[in-house]
Amino acid sequence: MKRALLFALGLATANAVCIPKSSSLLNLDEEGVGDAFELCLNSCPTDSCEEVVSLPDCVPSVESLIGATEVDVDNYRANCANYGDSATCVADALGCDWVGESGGASGSDETVVSQVVQGCTDVTANNYDAAATVDDGSCTYPVTVLGCTDAAADNFDANATEDDGSCTYAGCTDAAADNFDANANTDDGSCYYHPGCTDPAALNYDSTAITDDGSCTYPVSGCTDPAALNYDANAITDDGSCTHCLTTASATANQLRLAYQSSGCCGGEGYTTSGDGCLATASKLEIVDALGELEGCTQQSTNECSDLFISEVAEGSSNNKYVEIFNPTNEVIDLNDYALARVNNSPTIVGEYEYWDPFPLSGATILPGDVYVVCHGAAEEPILSECDKTLNYLSNGDDGLCLAKGTEDNYTCIDRVGDFDGDPGSGWEVAGISDATVDHTLVRKSGQCGESDWTVSAGTNTEDSQWFVMDMDDWSSIGEYSV
């Protein structure tokens, strides 16, 4: 039986193969050729075998190698590699390993050289190679990394290959807590138990609460009397601080003036209805004295005025202007005998009026202790509601105004604001305040009468002036005045 050798070129490019050297194949019979190839398969390199990286597509046939010389073997190999199949070559198309005896059909003279494939031959290795025929020591094996493999766990280890039961899940582990977490195996101190207000002194005390959640609210102490000046709508517990009456010592000058013009509060004679609270006083004389102390002057305690006078005059924002005339007598006064005489800035003739504005011929009267208000027709509602006559040419603060008694040709100026002596600029000084007749409200001090001399009326300071100089658009006392 012929020895058959399998030449497997298809796999030779990736692995080295041992074949007999040309010199070892000289003068051999068929069996000797086969033995030479078998020897090289098992032992390489040796003096008889050489290692080649790849084999050619065709190899010399056994017949061509029997009795061949070294030159013949080299020529045969070269010819087969270059030209393919020929009479002395066999094409390699089988791709098989060494199969020992009779690898081909009976009587075949094919020469088949064994293909050695090196690699990892251990089926348990990571890189096991099923095609490998010779183990080359390259096998690698799985590395076991113990740890928590649950991505939902607090200590998940992405590098772990085997779960070691160490996974932890933080949360409240007390089944009695409101936030008990059945999945938690590590208590993180977050447990809470029926939160609420645990302070018995609080308004919202919860006797069933275990954990205080900071929601406690407590009674607010203060004045709970809605009629008191310092009533606190948020107070729940009255602390005895309620005050119902102002005193002459605690009232402001404006509160005193307003109180003087009203009556009946807290058992006294004076009070204010402007939101400043009540004023308890023994008499209006006390108000006058207190106001005098605040203003730095001594007020007259009685008033024996015999004729009308200007009790208030305002030059405010936009068209908020008015003149208030007061009747201090005990008689009803008909205004047919009176008029407002005025000038526009600097008069044509110094000392004489330019415009004469009479009152209506019928119905224009002032009751005793009452006032008559002349206002701009475009003034705001608080002024218009008290207005008796409209006049759209009232002073801008620098136009002299006279309350005249008599006729256009024969009259007496019984009271005035400003004068007819020339343009004062922006306005006149009153009580030492520059331009007090513009952007201010002038309120006549109590105990005063009309004054035809404007210099005397205006004064030089708060003590000798007959006027209180109020802020612009202060109309809190319009429509009422009392001596």
Query: For the segment 234-261, what is each residue's pLDDT rounded down to a tens digit?
Result: 888 888 877 666 666 666 666 666 665 5
> For residue 106, what are its two tokens?
């009976």
CATH entry, 309-470, from 3.40.50, 1.20.1300, 2.60.40, 3.30.70: 2.60.40
Task: List the one residue out of 263, 475, 246, 257 whose CA is nearest residue 383.
Answer: 475
- Angstrom CA distances, 316 to 313, 423, 433, 434, 442, stand at 10, 19, 16, 16, 11
* Interatomic CA distance for residues 355 and 404, integer angstroms: 12
Whole-model pTM: value is 0.42
Region of poorest pLDDT, from 30-34, 170-174, 214-218, 476-480: 30-34
**Distance, CA of 219 to chain centre:** 32
User: What band does 203 get if pLDDT is binned at 50, 70 and 90?
Assistant: confident
Instruction: Tell me the per-residue pLDDT of 119-157, one tens digit each, with 9 for 90 and over.
Output: 899 998 889 998 887 788 899 888 888 989 999 999 999
* Interatomic CA distance for residues 71 and 55, integer angstroms: 19
Average pLDDT across the chain, whole number: 78
Instruction: Tell me the per-residue pLDDT of 419-434, one tens digit each, with 9 for 90 and over.
Output: 999 889 999 999 999 9
DSSP H stretches of helix in 303-396? 381-384
Helix (H, G, I), strand (E, B) or coil at 26: coil
Helix (H, G, I), strand (E, B) or coil at 390: strand
Predicted pLDDT of residue 258: 63
User: What band does 483 get if pLDDT is binned at 50, 70 and 90?
Assistant: low
Q: How many helices (H) and strands (E) does the chain have?
A: 7, 26
* Interatomic CA distance for residues 317 and 295, integer angstroms: 26
Within the chain, all domains assigned CATH 2.60.40 are found at 309-470
In our burial notation (b when 16+ CB lie closer than 10 A, e otherwise), range 243-256 reads ebbbebeebeebbb
DSSP state of 125: S
